[in-house]
Structure formats: structure tokens, C-alpha cells
Amino acid sequence: MLHMENDRDTAIAPTVTPTTTTGQQGGELSSQSRPMGSKVPLGTFVYASAPARIDLAGGWTDTIPITHEHGGKVVNVAVQVNNRAPYTVKARRTEALILSLSYDPNIPSQHFHSIEQIRDHADPLVPGALLKACLVASGILGITAMRHDGDYKTMAEALKHSGGGLELEIRSSLPVGSGMGTSSILIATILAVLKTLMGKPYTNDDLFYETLDVEQMMNTGGGWQDQVGGIMPGFKVSTCELDLPIQLKTNTIEVLEEFITIFNSRLLLIYTGKTRLAKNLLQTVLMNWAGQEPDVVDTMHRLVADATQCEDALRQGDLKAVGTVLTRYFADKRYLSETTLSHPPIIAHLLSHLSPHLEGFSLAGAGGGGFLTAILKPGLEKDQVVKEVREAMALDRNGGGEEEVDGDSMWGWSATVDRQGLVVQVGSPCY
């Protein structure tokens, strides 16, 4: 069994009055106490929102089994994208004994009438698999991963005995395969909402641990840094000691308000137009780790050491050092996943014009696509740099160079440090 420790953890027990769970950058996470056993009434929505995360150092060392065979350390930051939390969830119980799931605003809500219809959650490519796995893991339907049907023959029967019908809606404003921790953060947010509906208390650690469970149920594998990155606000460092059981410890990295302002002004978020399933890259990394080649093991050592350097640089307000570590981190991720600057091809083209303006850069998350995160050198105007790079890339295309991603899709993004982390509220929207 996995055991996790968090020196900022406080039990959260839901109530039917609007309350919020937030944290402040550079301070203790605060959680308003909520009475146990108070279910949310039928028809009342529970709302939740969560930021994305940008990994700054140490990724892959959080992945099972690397994290307990080697030990892991990751530094990341929670971010709002285009001035809002990109992930939202809402759910309510209903009198109508219908299970209704909505995961895409362009597709009507899907209604499920048999228990058999949620049994395919083990395939991450099945539409709605993430929601289905969360429903099973949470126990809100009285159905477990080990015994799907239990004593119930129909979905209506399961819903009746568990407190009524259920509507669950999730939304993400980021593209699929963004590298920003979407799947894991959404899982943790869904679990928080479902627990609130049921009147069950929970802690941050519960969400971290149960998100790992859901990812195993979906056969996607993964690690712990994404859910930590989105549930907790601001900059933080997480460590996992060698050996089992897994013990995760997460601390907020205290930085000055001035540093956050500078970080926001110099942070670029650029969409490559290429999506990828992290599971595919994960398989390559795990195979390389299993081979225990000296260069692979040395790379894992360096990832952990660089996470410490990044943590120290953040505490000292040294953004140049953060950028240096970020670039080295990107090189190590490419080595472990056997990708290059041509994965996707637009990266080499983009960096040929952008890199002279940068302190550091990396594809977010596993790499291979999604968003490029970059830190500008001091004294540069973000809008002017973007304008110059876009013009240079346009000239390349006119001269027969490769086609760029649609301009608005590529450049129409901004990221700023998030100060709240996961927010859960009953009865009125929190987003």
C-alpha cells in the first residue's frame, strides 16, 4: 500500500454551504474544516477548478517504479492559463436515476443505463474512460474495481441505492496532450468533487494517492508530480525516498512577490500543435530504466540533483539559474524518451529564432509535443519578441520552409503563477 506524507495536509470534510479550499504562495495551505457525514442535497451542484502545472526540474523521477527504485525529486509550479484555471468540474445528484457524463462541450452528455457500460475504463482511448475510472475508484456508485456489478443488476438500481442519479461534467481549456498535467489534475479534481457530494472528508494526500490508483486502473501508469502540481498552489518541491512504501513529501517554495511578477513577465507558453499520449513515451523511459544502462542511471541522478539546484535558485530569486536547469532538464527528457528537437518538427524551427532571446526552455511534461515553456532573458518585452519570431518564421515559410501551426493556436497563450490551487465550492460556481 502507498503511504504519503504532506506537511501541509489538513482533513477536508464537505458541507452544504459554499466553502473554498485554497492555498497561498509562500505560506501554509489552509483548509476550512467541514463537518463529516453531510451529503450535498439532490440537485445542488458541487463545483471545482484547478490550475495546470509546469514542470521545472526532476520529471520522470516521480514515475513508478523509478521513484521507489531510485528516489524522486520534482520542482514545478501551478499556473493559470490565459488568466483562468484551465480545469473545471461540476457534479450533482438528481432524482432521475440516470448516469450522465459530459467530457466534451461539442458532444451531448452521454447517458449510461447499464453497469457494463463503465467497464471499459481500463482503455484510456475509450471516450469518457477517465470519468468512468473516477466513478469506480470513488465508490460513489457502490461499484468497485474488483467487483463491478456487486449486488446490482442495473445502473438504475446502483444509483437508487447510492443516493440518486448523477450528472458529472469536466472541462479543459487546454488542447489534448498539452503536457500540462491535464489527466492527473482532472482525476484529482473529479475525486474531490465526488467526495464532497458524498460528504466524505479527504486530504491532499488522499487525492495524490487515489489519482495514482485511477491511473493504474486506466493502464496509463504515471507518477505523482502532475496532481501535486495542480492541487497545490504556486512553486513547490516534492520528494520521494528510495524504497517502498512510497512516502511523498511536498513543500511550498517561498519566493518574493517581486520574483513572481518577474517570472510572470518573462514566461512564454507556446503551443506546438502536436499532441501525444504520455503513456507512449512512458513505455520508452521505463524500458530504458529497466535496462539499467549507466548513462540512464546517471541521468536519473542528475535529474534529482538539478531539482535541488532549481529549488535553491527559486528561493534565491535567480531566474537565470532556473532557466539553465530547465534547458538541461529538457535535454535529459529527450535522452530518456529517445526524442529529439525534431519531435515535433516545429521545435527546431521555432528555437532557431527564439533561443537567442531565452534563459531556458523545455517542452512541458513528457515531451514529444504539447506546450513549449520558455523563460525570456531580462530586459526583453514579451510582445516584441513574439512579434519578431513570428515574422521570421513567416519569412521562412514564404521561402519554402515548413508550415507553421496556426498563429493564434500557437501564440495565443499566456501562463501566470496560480495562488489558489484546487478550489472546491458547493452551490455556486468558483470559476
Q: Domain map of the chain by residue range? A: 44-399+408-426
Region 8-24 average pLDDT? 35
Q: d(Cα 77, Cα 310) in Å, to the nearest integer?
A: 12
- The residues facing 424 across adjacent strands are 48
Distance CA 57, CA 328 (A): 9
Q: State how beta strands 46-50 and 358-363 pair.
A: unpaired
Q: How many CB atoms lie within 10 A of CB 412?
A: 12
pLDDT at residue 302, rounded to an integer: 98
CB 249, CB 5: distance < 8 Å: yes
| pTM for the full predicted model | 0.90
Q: Is 382 exposed, middle or buried (0-12, 13-18, 19+ CB in 10 A)?
A: middle
pLDDT of residue 162: 93
Using one digit for the tens of pLDDT, what is the confidence trace for 175-191?
Answer: 988 999 999 999 999 99
Distances (CA, A) of 20 to 30, 44, 193: 10, 16, 12
State how far the Cα of 261 lies from the Cα of 263, in Å rounded to an integer: 6
Q: What CA–CA distance (Å, rounded) separates 205 from 5?
A: 7
Burial class (CB in 10 A: 0-12, 13-18, 19+), 2: middle
pLDDT at 150: 59
Give, in degrees to the nearest 5, the angle at Cα 258 between 257 and 263: 100
Closest CA to 217 of 295, 289, 288, 131: 131
pLDDT tens digit sequence for 273-286: 887 656 678 889 99
Cα angle 143, 151, 126 (rounded to 5 degrees) comes to 35
Q: Residue 248: how many CB atoms within 10 A of its CB?
A: 23
Q: Which three cell numbers stand for residue 341?
A: 528537437
Rounded Cα gap, residues 240 and 175, in angstroms: 30
Residue 251 grid coordinates: 513543500
How many angstroms separate the CA atoms of 49 and 140, rounded? 20
- Give the Å distances, CA to CA, from 346 to 21, 271, 273: 40, 10, 9
pLDDT confidence of residue 323: 98
Eight-state DSSP code of residue 43: T
Q: What is the mean pLDDT of residues 423-427?
A: 97
Sheet holding 423-426, edge to edge: 110-112, 99-102, 165-172, 87-94, 46-50, 423-426
The arithmetic mean of pLDDT across residues 159-166, rounded, is: 95
For the chain, the distance separating the N- and C-terminal CA atoms, rounded to the nearest angstrom, is: 35
Q: Please give the CATH architecture assigned to the domain spanning 44-399+408-426.
A: 2-Layer Sandwich (3.30)
* Cis, peptide link before residue 344, omega less than 30° from 0: yes
The string of pLDDT tens digits covering residues 239-266 is: 998 888 888 999 999 999 999 999 999 9
Neighbouring-strand partners of residue 374: 268, 361
Comparing 23-32, 114-123, 373-382, which segment has the lowest mean pLDDT? 23-32
Answer whether the bond into residue 65 is a cis peptide, omega within 30°: yes
Query: Which has the minimum average pLDDT: 170-174, 234-238, 314-318, 366-370?
Result: 366-370
Buried b (16+ CB within 10 A) or exposed e, 146-175: eebeeebeebbbbbeebbbbbbbbbbbebb
CA distance 431 to 424: 10
